[in-house]
């Protein structure tokens, strides 16, 4: 995909994460989630488009936004989204979550998957499998590790089938647990 596809791809991710434990803990009210999540998607992964590592299936039913080695999320943009959309009482916990995420992030060059998802109307059709297989082939060509944080325990077996290993658990206060996962270089 290119930047021209960004709005359509972001809409798919917003739908895919509508029941995600971490997203809905962060923005529990529907209006909060719908206002904040598109901005979060852009801050987390918009550099995937200019990096040639934003992938989708036909009709944007499934989307994967990868960041290649050396390319990072928009940290300033992430902070602005959190500061302007998350309830003040929750900010110390969200700040601590991001700190823990940074501690698990590999220091060696790696591919990072901030977001992958399918429109709920198309979940269970193997779109994630297609997107993951395609992207991991690129990681393997580069002989580079791949890293992600799973925000939904339901998805962990999917990532494990693709060679990702759990590195630990990230949890603060009453937050759901994020699971950092690494797929070693092949």
Q: How far, rounded to the nearest angstrom, does the alpha carbon of residue 68 sit from its chain's CA centroid?
A: 14
Q: What angle do CA 80, 34, 72 make, to 5 degrees?
A: 40
Output the pTM of the full model: 0.94
pLDDT tens for each residue of 113-139: 999 999 999 999 999 999 999 999 999
Total domains in the fold of the chain: 1
- Which residues, other chains included, contact 182 with Cβ-Cβ below 8 Å and sequence gap of 6+? 106, 110, 145, 146, 147, 164, 165, 167
pLDDT tens for each residue of 153-171: 999 999 999 999 999 999 9
The 10 Å Cβ neighbour count of residue 67 is: 23
pLDDT of 13 reads 97
| Domain extent at residue 161 | 3-183
> What mean pLDDT value characterizes the chain?
96
pLDDT of 22 reads 96
CATH of the domain at 26: 3.40.630.30
pLDDT tens for each residue of 61-84: 999 999 999 999 999 999 999 999
């Amino acid at each position: 995909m290119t930047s021209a596809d960004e709005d359509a791809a972001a809409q798919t991710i917003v739908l895919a994460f509508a029941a995600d434990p971490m997203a809905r803990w962060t923005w529990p009210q529907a209006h909060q989630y719908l206002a904040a999540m598109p901005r979060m998607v852009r801050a987390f992964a918009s550099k995937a488009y200019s990096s040639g590592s934003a992938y989708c299936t036909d009709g944007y039913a499934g989307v994967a936004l990868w960041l290649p080695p050396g390319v990072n999320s928009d940290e300033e943009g992430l902070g602005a989204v959190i500061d302007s959309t998350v309830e003040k009482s929750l900010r110390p916990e969200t700040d601590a979550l991001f700190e823990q995420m940074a501690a698990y992030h590999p220091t060696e060059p790696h591919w990072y998957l901030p977001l992958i998802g399918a429109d709920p109307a198309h979940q269970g059709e193997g779109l994630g499998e297609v997107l993951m297989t395609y992207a991991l082939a690129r990681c393997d060509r580069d002989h580079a590790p791949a890293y992600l944080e799973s925000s939904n325990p339901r998805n962990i077996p999917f990532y494990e089938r693709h060679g990702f290993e759990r590195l630990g658990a990230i949890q603060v206060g009453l937050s759901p647990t994020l699971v950092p996962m690494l797929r070693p270089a092949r």
